[in-house]
Amino acid sequence: MYWLLFSLATFLSVALHGVESECIIPIWSQMSDANRLPHMTYYKNGKYQQVLPSSGTISIDEGGSIILTCSGCSARNYLKFAESESSATVTCRHSSLYYKGIRLDFNRDVKCKKLICNAVTTSGQCGGSGSQYQIGYDVYNEADMLTDVVSCYDHSSWIPLYASHVIHGRNLEGSRQIPRPEFKKEKLDNGKLVSDVFQQRNQTEIFKHLTGTDKYITRSNYLEKGHLAPQGDFVYPTSQVSSYFYINVVPQWKSINNGNWKSVEYDVRQFANRSLNDVLVYTGSYDVLNLDRKPIHLVQDRYLPVPKYIWKIVYATLAPGKYGAIVLIVLNNPYANQAEPLCRSICGPYGWNKADRSSFSKGHVHCCDYREFRLKVPFVPQLEVTEVLSGPNPKTLI
């Protein structure tokens, strides 16, 4: 009899309140207000960390809590449901979020009153000649910053040496890309001049001045703002926006950016999606492209060089004490007629090869062992590497 009464009580509780084990937050229902979606964090080990979704949703156990925060630009940004609060803790009860005893409608209430803004802070030196900048968002202040991209920017040449970011591969499933925002000029020596040179008509004039011909810049192929840390590697809309800074881009040919480099970025995300751990990625530039025996700089014949190579280090923890890395390198020259590898290419044997990756017009790709690559490019970060990282494609002999 007691068992029957207990079962009936449980049934009525579920019928009245639904399954009480968790709250489901549908992140992507907020896409129309992507820049008003609060940061979702928890506090652990003395710092704020992002709550990451699975298949586009966040699950919070019954009785569990998360911290919602709105970052402002010049003034404080407030949560829609919390009056004059920019940060608040919400709790899961009966499959719904509650704040101070008030039930929240996620789609209606969980928004920031103003657009969320990025923060850029300086964090020391890097790469020998570079200054390190963190791009992300303040939770309360700079000490509690959520960092999306770390840029190692060289003020002497007006170009990033490299940028680093983490791919939460398993959490990318179900994510969507927001419309492209405007690029931001913060921390540049001359932001207006740098942004101007990416206009096609200006590129035509620059190349004619440097090479004596206007044949290189065409309607279909010109230099684009090539992301180092790409938008597609980030889960949240706010983090995707963090990739749109000039200190995260290098001049890259359109046919290569949309060709083999795009394919490389896709393979890295595929690898991250299958990995059991987060994947750390460093992406950078090396050397200066020469055309008609002229080094190509886009500003005053000395600043903002067009890189000859654009590289990507993929680094992952494979097991306790085992760390793998691979370096994927594209020749940023669609007019090349021969390969100029920095090392003996190992793409095929390690599963990073693909059809058309030997095409010069789309960007010739080769792969290096990290330890050999670092001998050629000494400013790259020093990593503990025990083996070469195998990729997502079938292995070949070449």
Q: Which residue type occupies 381?
A: P
- Same domain (yes/no): 238, 96: no
Pair 72, 208 in one domain: no
The whole model's pTM is what?
0.91
Phi (first) and psi of residue 43, to 5 degrees: -105, 120
Q: Look at residue 56 and tell me if it is in a domain.
A: yes
Per the structure, how many domains does the chain have?
Answer: 2
| In-domain check, residue 9 | no
Asked whether residue 38 is assigned to any structural domain, the reply reads yes
Q: What is the pLDDT of residues 31-57, one digit of tens each?
A: 566 678 888 999 888 888 899 998 888
Name the residue range of residue 105's domain.
23-109
Specify whether 192 is located in the same domain as 325.
Answer: yes
Q: What share of the chain is helix, strand, coil (3-state, %, to 5)?
A: 25, 35, 40
DSSP state, residue 79: B
- Cα 30 off chain centre by: 20
Nearest Cα to Cα of residue 31 among 56, 51, 52: 56
Per annotation, catalytic residue among 227, 297, 364, 366: 227
Do 105 and 207 have their domain in common? Answer: no
Say if residue 339 is in the same domain as residue 196. Answer: yes
Residues 101 and 233 in one domain: no
Specify whether the CB–CB gap between 334 and 363 falls below 8 A: yes
Asked if pLDDT for residue 159 goes beyond 80, the answer is yes
Which residues have C-beta within 8 Å of that of residue 226, sequence separation ≥ 6? 249, 250, 251, 252, 257, 261, 310
105 and 198 co-located in one domain: no
Same domain, 105 and 183: no
Closest CA to 30 of 10, 53, 11: 53
202 labelled binding-site residue: no
The answer to the question of residue 169 being in a domain is yes
Percentage with pLDDT > 70 across the chain = 92
320-378 pLDDT, tens digit per residue, is 999 999 999 999 999 999 999 999 999 999 999 998 899 999 999 999 999 999 999 99
Predicted confidence band at 30 (pLDDT cuts at 50, 70, 90)?
low
- Residue-wise over 296-322: b if at least 16 C-beta within 10 A, else e? bbbbeeebbbbbbbbbbbbbbbeeeee
- Residue 54 resides in a domain: yes
Indicate whether 57 belongs to any domain. yes
Cβ atoms of residues 92 and 19 within 8 Å = no
Residue 350 lies in a domain: yes
Amino acid at residue number 97: L
**What pLDDT, on a 0 to 100 scale, did the predictor assign at position 5?**
37
Last residue of a domain, one of 69, 86, 109: 109
Closest CA to 283 of 199, 193, 377, 350: 377
The verdict on 77 and 185 lying in the same domain is no
Q: For 16-40, what is the HEC assignment?
A: HHCCCCEEEEEHHHHHHHHHHCCEE
Instruction: For residues 100 and 183, state if they share a domain.
Output: no
Same domain, 104 and 172: no
173 shares a domain with 88: no
Give the confidence band of 74 by pLDDT, cuts at 50, 70, 90: low
Any domain includes 93? yes
Domain CATH number, residue 169: 3.40.570
Which range among 27-41, 100-114, 381-395 has the greatest average pLDDT?
Answer: 381-395
* Strands 65-69 and 39-44, sheet pairing: antiparallel
Active site residue 39: no
66/43 Cα distance (integer angstroms): 9
* In the predicted structure, residue 193 carries a pLDDT above the cut 50: yes
Identify the domain boundary among 84, 109, 134.
109
Where is the domain boundary, 75, 109, 143? 109
